[in-house]
Amino acid sequence: MTETFITNMLIIGAGPAGYTAAIYGARANMKPVLLTGLQPGGQLTITNDVENYPGFAEAIQGPWLMEQMAAQAKHVGAEIVMDSVSKCSLLDPQKEDGYFIFHTDTGNIYKARTAIIATGAQARWLGLEAEERLQGYGVSACATCDGFFYRGKKVAVIGGGNTAVEEALYLTHHASHVTLIHRRDSLRAEKIQQDRLLNNPKVTVIWDSVVEDILSGGKPEAVTELALKNVKTNEKSTLDIDGVFIAIGHNPNTELFKGQVELDSEGYIITQPGTPKTSIPGIFAAGDVQDKTYRQAITAAGTGCMAALEAERYLGETE
């Protein structure tokens, strides 16, 4: 049976941004409702050791951190619902008595005075079976998150754009050597970044090549080699490494909002500089769904806080 719920603040997404928004919204007595989506906890649910989140002297587990944020949000009064938005109406909310309308997979309807979109983004992967099996055990999509674990080791970065070059340069501060593997014979990154990469003595570039497989050498939880193929000659080879970073981009989870909230050319929600405000008053965006630069748990949490404070301010002004 379809039910309709009314809330001052609806939060869509249950990562660091969504949970933090829920905490701040609940403490402001806005009685927020958070819809978790299909992957509560977001990308941190597939992140094993987290060493860069403030407040913990030792590494913590990503899923555990998300459990703690969820527990804190519930403790201060946020309502967390295991459901996903399937359709929404964000334009002309006055037609519905000033409410934004959200339909969910369970058939329920949520009418919200304000909404915070915190649906995150997903890393693009190569599509290899080993990627999923070895995530957290030598396969990563975030050098800033995991580079520290490869001090003095050999790593590879897959990609040829700005993200790949930036990841490779970052990793030179930790790894003994970095190999960049690119399927073309030239990089797409900015010229200044290319120069830095190509002039770094700790970096080697393998051109015109793709990764056919990620090998563990008989070890169930360790990356040991990459199986490569030259796309021009079809010559096959292997590369001995300790870790591989996939840097071929991210896909923001914004399909629901196309044609309503203003998006950039890559599909990220555009927010006003220094704020979580979107093109629609009363709709805010936080976390990786609007951040393609930093993509960290701590920055996502910060923008979640900002979104809740802005939603509270918006309600005060409109009421």
Catalytic (active-site) positions? 142, 145-146
CA distance 219 to 290: 38
Helix/strand/coil (H, E, C) string of 166-208? HHHHHHCCCCCEEEEECCCCCCCCCHHHHHHHHCCCCEEEECC
**Starting from the edge strand earliest in sequence, which strands make up the sheet with 209-215, in order?**
209-215, 225-230, 236-240
CA distance 46 to 244: 16
Q: With the C-alpha atoms ordered 308, 314, 317, 319, is the resulting torsion angle positive or negative?
A: negative
Q: Dig out the tokens for 52 from the structure.
A: 């860069």
Residue 296: closest CA among 263, 250, 234: 250
Residue 285: closest CA among 271, 297, 273, 295: 271
Helix (H, G, I), strand (E, B) or coil at 80: strand
CB-based contact 61:50 (threshold 8 Å)? yes
CA distance 170 to 211: 21
Q: Name, in order, each residue with C-beta under 8 angstroms of 95's C-beta and a sequence gap of 6 or more.
A: none
Helix/strand/coil (H, E, C) string of 242-311? CEEEECCCEEECCHHHCCCCCECCCCCECCCCCCCECCCCCEEECHHHCCCCCCCHHHHHHHHHHHHHHH
φ, ψ (nearest 5 deg) of residue 250? -130, 155
Tally of CB atoms within 10 A around 6:
14
